[in-house]
Structure 1
Amino acid sequence: MLYFQLVIMAGTVMLAYYFECTDTFSVHVQGFFCYDTSYTKPYLGPEDRSAVPPPLLYALVAGLPTLLITVTETVLFLVQYTSKEFDRSEKTVATGDCCYLNPLVRRTFRFLGVYSFGLFTVDIFVNAGQVVTGNLAPYFLTVCKPNYTALGCQQALRYISHQEACSGNQEDILRARKTFPCKEAALSLYAALYLAMYVTLTVQAKGSRLAKPVLSLGLVCLAFLTGLNRVAEYRNHWGDVIAGFIIGGAIATFLLLLGEESPEHQPGSALLTLGRMESPLEKYIASQETDDDDDEDEESCYIKERLLVFLNWLQGLHWFQRISNRRWSEL
């Protein structure tokens, strides 16, 4: 199964490479109406001039999850190493019968492998949608620079469908034909949801009840701001951004549900399985709570004894009051 998963991972990476770096798949040429105001927004320059340029977005999408997952797994492993559960921990064969992998290395590669697979999958879905639809950007006519007189655009309802209608820069025109769905929105929301689910499932410390929601909402907020920036700079329509959010969120949720239903500790399944693993920090806290439960039992017994003494005192007080009332009545 491990080698089969590696083949799937390699095929996914190669398909994403052909979409991104080659012209193997030609973009559908979608026509437009003369003087259509939906595509006459100003062109603010190449993607590098955007408030969220592609190098920054890709660095965050690839680097931030790697750093966060590695640091979190290291901390959890150190916490488990210092606890009693480490000596009784079950070893899992991750590379066959030849050798064992350190739990820290195994879990880190496991989560990063799932994240990388989902990231390339999002890229493939987005590129496939852009190639098939060929949806036009809001600034398409600005970079297309059509000759309306030669095209016979005396009427605004005339539909232009041939590719030779544009006289602008061909690279800008090609980029303006690939906007649906929005890649930046899909990648950013996928990374945010994956990290939010990872932190929620692995970190089970009591002190993190407020920190985990704040971190998750902060990551999702950054993803939504990325989508809003695309619309504000007239690089994508609202529908493009929403479709990108749906794709990124759906793939992240699918990986979570698939991991929840998959078998837990199977040899060779550590690369592309998310799964619900009990956190080392959770094990450590559980071992500490066992001792706390014993202390709580002693405290509860002491409280019960004090309550019984107090109730006996109240009964004695009531008995004394009855005797006093009887004596006053005899006098």
Structure 2
Amino acid sequence: MLVYYCEFTDTFSPAEQGFICRDPTLTKPDPGPEQNSRMPPIILYSVVSGLPVVLISGVEVVIFLFYYNSNNFYEQEKVVVVGDCCYVNPMVRRTVHFLGVFVFGLFTTDIFVSTGQMVTGSLAPYFLSVCQPNYTALGCQDTAFFVSQSDGCTGDPDDIIRARKTFPCKEAALSVYLAVYLACQRNNLPFQMYIMSCVGSAVGRLAGPFVSLSLVSLALLTGINRVAEYRNHWSDVIAGQGIGAAVAVFLVSSCYY
């Protein structure tokens, strides 16, 4: 419910921070709507929501097929449902468990980031381009003059609100959460790589590291792209990545085994 109100309604508005006249850190050109990004929201959210379903389901199917004839594996993984007669297939149980925890963490990350954006109201690198302040009316003869008026902007209100919701970076948080969650799986060794321990043992030694490093690299590139397009500051991206990684590590260490 909180995710819905934060993402699709104007129930919560970001805090209105002031700005310094002609602040060079806020005068980058407007990159336009998010749909014009190299990583548009439809692609990012499709990957974040769809990749775990495909990857985790595929990995668990491979594991189950490889160890299907192992009685020891089945005895360890089965779950008693009713009395002593009904059991859930270990593949189904593990898949639902991993995906359920992932969805919980995804919503948690989104809520943390949205709350941070609303509370801080941090200004984007292109804020002054969409704010379009009237420097003469605001008395900005001195470039160090601080403007605190909430009505100091004359630009489009929707663009101004978008430029006030940058810290922490949601795209960086969600992408890193996805990468770390899929890469980490607590086992006998602390934070052993999930894909390396599952896929690597069944397919090959290089399969796990390749997939894990690819996910982490794509997550980092998502953050770099946000900075390159002037949509976020480095601090926004780093904070978002830290939140995403922290949520993923906490869930992996708390909910598995």
Normalised TM-score (structure 1): 0.71
Identical columns (%)? 60
Equivalent residue in structure 2 for 1:180, among 167, 170, 173: 167
Give the conservation status (yes or no) of the 8 Å contact 2:29–2:129.
yes
Q: In structure 2, list runs of 5 or more residues that go unmatched.
A: 185-193
| 1:114 equivalent in structure 2 | 101
Q: Report the CA distance shift for 1:146/1:127 in structure 2 as closer, same or farther (over 3 A).
A: same
- The separation in 1 between residues aligned to 2:71 and 2:250, in whole angstroms, is 35
| 1:317 equivalent in structure 2 | none
| 2:41 equivalent in structure 1 | 54
- The separation in 2 between residues aligned to 1:173 and 1:190, in whole angstroms, is 28
- The separation in 1 between residues aligned to 2:74 and 2:85, in whole angstroms, is 22
Write the deviation string for residues 63-84 of structure 1: whole angstroms up to 9, x where unpaired. Answer: 0111001111112122222344
Q: Report the CA distance shift for 1:98/1:182 in structure 2 as closer, same or farther (over 3 A).
A: farther
Give the conservation status (yes or no) of the 8 Å contact 1:122–1:187.
yes
Q: Report the CA distance shift for 1:233/1:108 in structure 2 as closer, same or farther (over 3 A).
A: same
Structure-to-structure mapping, 1:49-88, within 5 angstroms = 49-85=36-72, 88=75
Q: In structure 1, list runs of 5 or more residues that go unmatched.
A: 1-13, 260-273, 276-331
* RMSD after superposition: 2.0
- The separation in 2 between residues aligned to 1:94 and 1:147, in whole angstroms, is 68
Normalised TM-score (structure 2): 0.90
Residue correspondences, number? 248
- Secondary structure, counterpart of 2:254 in structure 1: helix
Write the deviation string for residues 149-202 of structure 1: whole angstroms up to 9, x where unpaired. Answer: 111111111111122111111111000000000000010011011111232344
Residue range with higher mean Cα deviation, 78-87 or 138-147: 78-87
Structure-to-structure mapping, 1:63-212, within 5 angstroms = 63-85=50-72, 88=75, 91-93=78-80, 99-197=86-184, 198-203=194-199, 205=201, 208-212=204-208
- The separation in 2 between residues aligned to 1:191 and 1:87, in whole angstroms, is 29
Which has the higher Rg, Structure 1 or Structure 2? Answer: 1
Write the deviation string for residues 276-304 of structure 1: whole angstroms up to 9, x where unpaired. Answer: xxxxxxxxxxxxxxxxxxxxxxxxxxxxx
- The separation in 2 between residues aligned to 1:245 and 1:125, in whole angstroms, is 12
Write the deviation string for residues 245-290 of structure 1: whole angstroms up to 9, x where unpaired. Answer: 110111111112113xxxxxxxxxxxxxx32xxxxxxxxxxxxxxx
| 1:232 equivalent in structure 2 | 228
Q: Report the CA distance shift for 1:95/1:118 in structure 2 as closer, same or farther (over 3 A).
A: farther
